[in-house]
Chain A
């Protein structure tokens, strides 16, 4: 066992500048006692101690054995900026240049107590993304556009979200960045993303999923209730609501799309109150209004445990005449 542990101790003590005995003890505990794979043990210790040192760099233990020229291992930071469209959940050490839109300060409670964070949107020509800054940087408010080196990307509400932390090099960007323009994309294209803020697609509604129609929501948490039961609050008097979960498909890809009450009323042309008087007809009504209907959908595409979901915010019936479209396409072919 010792010959497995020793090289790791060497490596970690060099990298972290830590007491060898502490490392030896912790590694032995993990590898021998708990039978954690050596690589995993190495990783977890690296993570654990690097965090401590970065929070309180002064409290670094002075150790004669460690080389004095200790420096934190720099993660590879990409210098060339990445277009926001190409940003994926899990990206780390990337550089972005973007406009800051509506930054606001808010307090959130974490394990370590209440923290002040800045959140808002970042945009460039290609996409618009949510961001959270864990450090208070005046640049975010002052400069219209920023360059951020070494940011990492997490999933937030099913879409990529840029995280700015104390490692991030943040500065104002002198120059114009185009605003994000929503443009029509295919579902195949949208399926390849990790979620898109403010997207648009032209689709057909092909099928209705369970959970559509008249539903009851918990008045406390607005979760959908099953048989008068809320998952969190138990038996409770529900608030009636209306929604459609439909399969949308454009011939290139397909996903689920949810329409809230207002959009559902718009699609079926009947209000919730009217439906409430005659609930038995709801399924038939929705089926007749939905299946085979072409629609232009705008909203957020989210990616989660249940695959990609298009959360419709706005819908429109395609109004361009097929005749005109056909003429244009024929012109391109000939």
Chain B
């Protein structure tokens, strides 16, 4: 029986840079798009934000074009009459939305030198940001793995057939790697660019200091508590409050920030300049 083609994980930027098609144009033999880092894609799985859907079919035909954005760029999706379910889905879904899509890859080359990559969906579904973040992480990881394989391949100094044989037991994408190196003229610089792309994508996942958030919360409580304790009716002078907070181990700057945010929230106010009072 024929094996199902694995859905590869590639970022939109890398996918859209792809221009190398591979595969015998015979019955049933799968066709591949080989990406610059050597992923042999027949099918891919992508999760991102659906930003645009548009029916571009002419003469009453249904042909939905959509864009799915990941941290590096956007995939183009075409769903026509043979992807009815996906097309119907795209026609109904309001944008933006987190979407997972599994589909076959396509490269359209209207003239030599120009390439348009797209995905023809097999399955589409609504997911959430957690799924998107996890996909971004795994895709970055697999992309970095591929880059390492290509780097090792470059280090051998081999090329063409020789390299292909050398790589044959090295990785799943070994065939893709040697072809990608030859076709895209991959060198250290271009690899670094893709590594940068992957690490940038990872950076988008890192939440801005969650721990800081927690500190702010407990800090605000502490400020309110100190004001409440020291206030004998007219409010607490700013300097006294600052001294007290410093004793508790807070920096002047963060105390200022805390007071500022508490005043913004309306939890304390200044009856007179330099004095603070709880609301």
Residues of chain A having any CB pair with chain B under 8 Å? 187-188, 204, 206-207, 247, 249-255, 287-288, 290-294, 306-307, 318, 321-323, 325-327, 329-330, 333-334
Contact = CB atoms under 8 A, between A and B. Distances in A.
Contacts of A188: 6, 172
Contacts of B133: 322-323
Nearest to B210: A323
Contact of A326 (B1, B142, B203): B203
Given A322-B133, A325-B205, A326-B136, 9 more contacts: A206-B102, A247-B4, A251-B142, A292-B47, A294-B135, A321-B207, A322-B136, A323-B133, A326-B205
A251 B138 contact: yes
A323 B207 contact: yes
Contacts of B1: 306-307
A254 B134 contact: no
B124 interface: yes
B140 to A, nearest CB: 7
A293 B128 CA distance: 10
Interface of B: 1, 3-9, 45, 47, 99-102, 122-127, 130-131, 133-142, 144, 172, 195, 198-199, 202-203, 205-207, 210
Nearest to A188: B172
A253 B3 CA distance: 10
B199 A330 contact: yes
Contacts of A253: 6, 172
Contacts of A251: 6-9, 45, 138-139, 142
B205 A323 contact: yes
Contact of A254 (B4, B139, B210): B4
A291 B6 contact: no
B30 to A, nearest CB: 13
Contact of B127 (A187, A207, A293, A330): A293
B126 A288 contact: yes
21 contacts: A187-B6, A204-B7, A204-B45, A206-B45, A207-B122, A249-B102, A251-B7, A251-B9, A251-B142, A252-B172, A253-B6, A254-B7, A287-B125, A288-B126, A294-B134, A294-B135, A322-B137, A326-B136, A329-B141, A329-B144, A334-B199
A187 B45 CA distance: 15
Contacts of B205: 322-323, 325-326
A322 B134 contact: yes
A330 B199 CA distance: 7
A227 B171 CA distance: 45
A253 B6 CA distance: 5
Contacts of B101: 292
B195 to A, nearest CB: 7
Contacts of A247: 4
A213 to B, nearest CB: 16
A1 B262 CA distance: 105
